[in-house]
Structure formats: C-alpha cells, structure tokens
Structure 1
Amino acid sequence: MKRKLFPVLFSGMCLFTSCSKMLDVKSHSAVGTNTLSAADVEAFLVGIYNRVQNAPGAEAYISFDIVGGNLINSGATSDGGLNTFISNVLRPENGLMSAPWNGYYSALYQVNNLLEVASSLPESQRNTEIAGIAHFFRGYIYYNLVARWGGVPILERNTKEKVKRNTEAEVWAFIEKELQLAVDNAPAFTTGQYYQVSSVAAKALLARVKLAQNKKAEAAALAEEVITSGLFSLDAFEKIFRAQQNNEEIFSFRNLTIESSIRVSTLFYTYAHDVKGSYVYRPVQEVMDMFSSDDKRAAMSVDTYQGLRVLNKYPSGQSGTDPIVVIRLAEMYLISAEGQGLNGLYRLNELRRERGLGDIDPVDEAAYLDAVLLERRKEFLGEGFRWYDLVRTNRAVETLELLDREVKFPLPMNELALNNLLDQNDDY
C-alpha cells in the first residue's frame, strides 16, 4: 500500500539572498487550509504527535528554566550577570522567541486539519476519541503560547488571512473549552500507556491551566481527582528520567531518536562527557545548592563533571534522545498543595517524604507559598516551569531583578513584519 506524505507548513524563513521578500511569506498566525481523507486519519494522528513534539524545538521545553533563573550560559564566569543574560534572551530578534512561536503555530495548523476532518467523519467511539486527542493538543499548544506571550491569535480554523491577537482572557477561556472537550472525549488512560493522550491527562492539564489563572479551588479539586483516581502513584526519579516504566507519568512524548529532532541533553553535557554534548547552559550555583544530601532527586537533577555544573535529567547527550515528560503526578500534588493553601500541607509533605525529606510546618500562608514554590523549583528543574511560576505569583520582577516588561515574552520581530495586525507586548 502506497503511503501518503502529508504536507507540513514551513514559513517565515528569511534566506540571506532575498530578505526583501520576507513580506511575501505567510505568517505563522495566518495559515492555509488543507484537508485529509478519512482513511488517512489514524496515520495523520501519529503525525500530530510527532509535529507537536518536534515543531517548537528543544529549547522550548526548557525556556522557562533559561529565563527563570535556573540556568545561565555555560561560558559565564559567574552567576552575577543572570538578569542581563535573561534580558538578552528576551529580545524580539532572538531565535528563542521565534522558534517556539513558529513551531506551535505550525503544529496548530496540523491539529486544525485533523479537527476539520474529524468533524465530517461518521459517528463512532474512535472518531470521538480522535477529536478529543486533537482538542487536548490544541489546548496544550495554546497554553504554551499564552504563558509566554499573553494574548495571541486564536485560530479554530486554518485561514490565509492575517488576524489580530485575542485578549489573554479570551485565550484562557478557549484553552479551558478545548481541554474540557478532551476530558469528555479523549480515550481513557490505560495503565503504563502514558505516551498516549488520555482524558485524565486533559484533566491534569486543566488543573495546571486553572492554577495559572489563580483559580485555586478549581485547580486543587481537579488535581485531587487525578491523585485519587487510582491510576497513578509517585515513583522514583531514576525511573521517570531514565525512561523506565513507572507509575507517575500521566502524559509524555516518547521522543524516539528515529523520529525526533528534540535532543535537550546536548545542551547540558560537555563534549568531554561520556555522552558528549554542546554545553550551552549550566545550572546556577543556587540550583546546585538547593538539594540536600538526603533528597532523592539530587543525583537525577544535577551533577558536576570535571568541575563543571551539569543538569542531569536528560542523560542521552549526542547518543540519542530522552522522553519529554509533559505531565506527571508530582505536579498534581503540588497544584493541590498550592490550591488549598495551608490546608494542603499534607499533600506537600506527602511529596517531600516520597523524595526523602522530612515534614515541614510553615508559620503562615506566605511562608507556605514560599515552601511550595521552592518544592516546585526542585521537583521540576529542567522541565520548563520556573519563570512562569514566578510570573503567575507576581514574583518574577523582584526575584530575578527583571524589567517590568519581562513578565511576558516579546513577539518575534519577523512575525510582526509578516503580520501587520499584530501588536508588540508593552515596552519592547
């Protein structure tokens, strides 16, 4: 049987020979319509997983660590210039701005194609599940967009027209709608099958989205539903981050070497290391010091090799790829803990005990939130949470000594050139 090759959108590239033609290239927030036949839907669904996994690029998965005070460029002689390093990253012309913007919208193009086809398919349980998976990915894509840029263009259908930004509130409401559709329609979770989107993965992501909007009670309730579902349990770091079967992952990208361009590990290891690497970023000393000797996460999180600091969660280097953990149970514990305030202390201490640490008893709500955020920093180092945790709790400017504007990413410079209906975030 002859296999069809499905088109993928590539645009917004300015080749040095013809930068003057930049405006003739389609904007990533104005993508063209395409259709698929019903017979190709299952095959195209596999391509959706691949596209959403790969399109944003490796650094998209750790960008909130890069600008969140966990990492600094490996060539820095000290950590003293951390805020300058962050400001240099948060520039409209920086590729770390354009790559994820282009990647997420490119992936959205394919997800929208799938949803368009799914809407015309005969009613069946599987077709409903496929639509649920697509809605999960659309919610996931827009979560990543809104957390970085605030209001962005909402595209429920692909279009060749240029479009304006929606408000941030409209984007959050759209994400909630998408994820609720996924909760209602995506497949049930099968034990051990965390590389497949499930309805409970959608519920877990919805808990994250609620917390991001400070809807704490709703976030905690959803997280508790996931925790008490009986489907998952906290597990050892050496299983989670060494690609061993475990009970903690809720949804991850398998990220197989044969089909992946995502090699996060090369960014952290030196070429002299056994697995080799480019050593682009290193943990700051504060990160190295935040793990106590009895913390079971320490060895899987950071290491020192030939006197150089190394983030150790992605161990493959140039030899292969590592799974990308998107949602796991520890996050639900910490969402529940934060969402409940001091009443959620039991969840925080349950997680701490599982990680080899003793119970704590903060004196008030302020101290308690400090403790939750510190636990999140340790638990999710290198997983893309830190900057946005500080932003959503209004701590980014003070903690990282950022400019006021740096609580949002700047829209990419070339995207503004391609779409004159877009406006830049304040003060960039």
Structure 2
Amino acid sequence: MAMAGLSLSACEDKLNIEPRGSISPDAVTPADTEVLLNGVYDGFQGGATSYQYLSLLTDDLSSDNLAWRATFSQHGEVDNNAIQANNLLIQYYWQGLYKGIYRANFFLQTVEKLDESTFSNPARKKEVLAEARFLRAYGYYGLVTRWGGVPILTEPTNEKVARNSEEEVWNFIVEDLKYAVENAGEFKSSFYVSKPAAKALLARVYLIRKNYAEAERLAEEVIANNKFSLSENFESVFASKENSERIFSLNSTTNDQTSLSYFLLHNSLANGQKTNGGRFELPADPSLVAAYESGDKRKDVTVQPTVYGGKDYNMVWKYRGGALTGDAWPVARVAEMYLVSAEARAEQGNLGGALDRINDLRAVRGLSDISASGLGDFELKIENERRLELAIEGFRWYDLIRTGRAIEVLPNVTNKNQLKYPIPLAEITVNELLEQNEGY
C-alpha cells in the first residue's frame, strides 16, 4: 500500500480519473453510451424492480390462457379479474415500467447533448437514441394497454404529474416508434433493438389503432426481410433464444434471477421427465389446452401434462429455464407479422389475401388451410389463431379488449370497468394528481 501511495504521488494526474461505476450526466462521453444503453435494456428486462418479470404474465392470467393454482393471492385477483388497488404484482408492474422509462429518459436527455462528430461512428448517435426511444415506447405500450391513459414523462423527474389521455399516450408511442424505424440500426441480434423490431412493434400499434394500411405495409416489410422466417420446428423458437423467428426479445441470464418460468413449471412432466423445476403456481387454463386442433405442432411446445397433488394439470412449456437459468421474453416474432398482415388485409376488404397470410402460417405449423364465409367469420378465426400461436406471450387479454370481445368471452369479466387495471394505491397515495380508473 505504501509503494502504491508513492507511485500515485508521482503521477498525481491519475487521481483525476472519473470513476466509471457511476457517472454524472455532464461527464458522459460517447464512449459511455453503450454501457448506459445496456442499463436501459436492463430496466425493461427486469432489473428495475423486484418481480417485474412476473408481470409479463398478467396478460395471459387476466384472460383465459393461464389459471391460478395456489399461494399468492395477488395472482388470484388477476385470474379472477377482481384486482384490488393495493395488489403488489400490479404495483411492481407499474413501477417497473416507469423505472425503465426513467432510465430511457435519462439516457436520451444525456446523449442528445453529445456532438455526433465525437462518436467513433457518427451514425451511432442516432441509432442509440432510436433504441432508447423504442424501449420507452414499449414501456408506454405496456402501460396504456393495461391502465389506459397514464402520465407521459419525457425527461427524468420526481415531480407529480397528472394522467394524459389514452389517445395522447398512443400518439406518443407512434412518434417514438417512427423515430426508431427511421434511425435504428439493421438487425444483428434479437436481444437488441433494430429497424425491423421498430417496424414490428409499430405494425402492432397501427393494427390496434385501426390504421390497417400502415399495419399491413410494415408487417409485410418485416416478412420480406430475409433475416426472418417461420420455423418448421416450433420448439426451436423457444428452446433457443436466437432463431429465425425472433425479431426482438428481452433476455435474462442466470444472474438476473428473473426466470418467469419458475412460476410456470412443475418438477416433472406426466411421463416422469424432469424439468428445471419451479413452484408451479400458474398452470395453463384448460380452455387453452382444449383449443388446439389435432396435428397442431404448437400444442406440445406450449403446454405439457403434469400431475400435482393427485390432480391432472397442464404446465406452460414454452419457457423452460425454471430455477436454473434465464428465459428470453419474445417481444416480437415474425409469426405475429403474418397475423397482423392477415387481420389488416381482412379489415381492408381483402379477405382472400388475409386467408393467404393466415394459411401460410398454418401450413408451417402442420395444419390445413382454413376458409371464411365473411369478415365476421374471419375475425373469430384469426382471434383463435392468435390465441394459439401467441399463447403466453402477452397478447390474449388486450386482443379481447381491442376487438370488444372480452366481456363475451371471459366469464369473470362482466363490466367495462374490469377492462383496465387499477392505478396502484401506492402511486395515488404519493401523487394526488392521479385519478383512479372507474370501478376501483
């Protein structure tokens, strides 16, 4: 230590090096941007708050894809569509998304000030800004589809802010995604935001907002991209984190300790085959299992029979990390783009083209072509196709809401107030400007 002290006194200027474990905004240089950006990704992958990853499952639990078996009453409230405002799972979901958005806003505010000519690759400045804006848009997408209108924050702040309208939130999401489409880099890995990823999420948003022409255009552009293709082996889409179907995923590692499958897996399948283990709190809903037709390759990959306490169940088998390793949550897959294009075509009066796209997907999944007698018949069939293809990927709940079918399909949903989650009580307690959703 004495020798080290002597050497430091001889090189006093080395003591002025800025510590890199944390850094003030004014000290950020282009060399810091990649590390800071990783922190934004981490915020949405589960690093921002405890149990945030579990909230990814609330969409399928609110609908008829997952069921609650035991233990945590918060899951039971979601499954029964009787959520209390003090539900901790819902609180973690809200706070996790806003913490991710906070990180994105901090990054954007800091990096926008940097001169692009000081980057080793000047084009990289717009690319990293596009990645952060995509992630921010994804955060707001999670908020608006669960809560409706929420506060729009465009910079880091601890100020109390009132809710914006639902329309304003959707418009903000579109603005961010348009920027990402224009400025993000080309696809290199599904773990990072790319131009195709931005197109895929924007196509989804346009479908929801009934801008069918743009939804179809963007979905078809992604389908035409030779980086992506439907896989003949559906199991590989989930057994492997990187494959031809994944456009963007939120990755997790063993160190993250955020494996969502821990709550889905039992210790063994019905045939005795061991899994990676879990607490098996959320089995597949029997109606999901019954919805698969004979010969559908997706069924055995999505659900597997198991026996627990002498009773027959089906566990979700798409995510298999369990207690041992991390899973990658699929934010966007090319299969969804086939379904987006099909629905958008049908809503524009092109029923033949819509059937072509849905049957392209079904053929790869080992299924025969379907037909439709008209738009209404097609809408029911694509609703079912989306349920089976995208099961336990966070779509079913809002699909039923956006099509006006939730009250008709879900027995526990009897009034429109249940179509939105309650604003967490903890948030309203500290911010009197937040108005609670009706019915809570």
TM bin, normalised by shorter chain, reads 0.7 to 0.9
**Is the deviation greater in 236-245 or in 170-179?**
236-245
Any conservation in 2 of the 1:36–1:117 contact (CA below 8 Å)? no
2:185 to 180, 184, 187: 187
Any conservation in 1 of the 2:303–2:315 contact (CA below 8 Å)? yes
Counterpart AA for 1:4: R
Matched, 1:420 2:412: no
Q: Match for residue 193 of structure 2?
A: 197
Unaligned runs of 5+ residues in structure 1 are 8-32, 77-81
Q: Deviations over 1:290-339 (max 9, x none)?
A: 12331111111000123321010011211111111110100000000111
Q: Match for residue 228 of structure 1?
A: 224
**Is the deviation greater in 198-207 or in 226-235?**
226-235
Q: Match for residue 134 of structure 2?
A: 136
Any conservation in 2 of the 1:83–1:400 contact (CA below 8 Å)? no
Q: Match for residue 386 of structure 1?
A: 396
Q: Following the alignment from structure 1 to structure 2, what is the Cα–Cα distance between the partners of residues 290 and 426?
A: 33
Matched, 1:153 2:151: yes
Q: Following the alignment from structure 1 to structure 2, what is the Cα–Cα distance between the partners of residues 286 and 298?
A: 12
Give, in angstroms, the shift of residue 131 of structure 1: 0.6
Counterpart AA for 1:254: N
2:332 to 324, 327, 330: 327
2:28 to 27, 32, 37: 37
Q: How many equivalent residue pairs?
A: 394
**Is the deviation greater in 361-370 or in 396-405?**
396-405
Question: Measured at CA, do residues 397 and 37 of structure 1 come closer, stay the same or move farther in structure 2, by a change above 3 Å?
Answer: same
Unaligned runs of 5+ residues in structure 2 are 1-16, 117-121, 269-273
Question: Measured at CA, do residues 163 and 83 of structure 1 come closer, stay the same or move farther in structure 2, by a change above 3 Å?
Answer: closer
Provide the TM-score with structure 1 as the length reference.
0.88
Give, in angstroms, the shift of residue 4 of structure 1: 2.7
Give, in angstroms, the shift of residue 86 of structure 1: 2.4
Give, in angstroms, the shift of residue 3 of structure 1: 6.2
Q: Match for residue 29 of structure 1?
A: none
**Is the deviation greater in 154-163 or in 267-276?**
267-276
Q: Relative contact order (alpha carbons < 8 A, sep ≥ 6): 1 or 2 greater? A: 1
Identity of aligned residues (%): 38
Q: Match for residue 373 of structure 2?
A: 363
Counterpart AA for 1:37: V
Any conservation in 2 of the 1:243–1:322 contact (CA below 8 Å)? no
Q: Deviations over 1:336-383 (max 9, x none)?
A: 011111231100000011111000101111110111010100011111
Give, in angstroms, the shift of residue 34 of structure 1: 6.2
Any conservation in 1 of the 2:45–2:53 contact (CA below 8 Å)? no
* Root-mean-square deviation (Å): 2.0
Provide the TM-score with structure 2 as the length reference.
0.85
Give, in angstroms, the shift of residue 228 of structure 1: 1.5
Q: Secondary structure at the match of 1:318?
A: coil
Counterpart AA for 2:316: L
Q: Match for residue 299 of structure 2?
A: 298
- Which one has the largest radius of gyration? 2
Question: Measured at CA, do residues 213 and 35 of structure 1 come closer, stay the same or move farther in structure 2, by a change above 3 Å?
Answer: farther
Q: Following the alignment from structure 2 to structure 1, what is the Cα–Cα distance between the partners of residues 182 and 242?
A: 27
Q: Match for residue 271 of structure 2?
A: none
Q: Deviations over 1:140-186 (max 9, x none)?
A: 11111111111100011112210100000000000000001111111
Q: Secondary structure at the match of 1:280?
A: coil
Q: Match for residue 111 of structure 2?
A: 118
Question: Measured at CA, do residues 34 and 280 of structure 1 come closer, stay the same or move farther in structure 2, by a change above 3 Å?
Answer: farther
Counterpart AA for 1:407: L
Q: Match for residue 284 of structure 2?
A: 283
Question: Measured at CA, do residues 351 and 86 of structure 1 come closer, stay the same or move farther in structure 2, by a change above 3 Å?
Answer: same
Q: Following the alignment from structure 1 to structure 2, what is the Cα–Cα distance between the partners of residues 100 and 382?
A: 17
Any conservation in 2 of the 1:61–1:384 contact (CA below 8 Å)? yes
Any conservation in 1 of the 2:190–2:242 contact (CA below 8 Å)? no
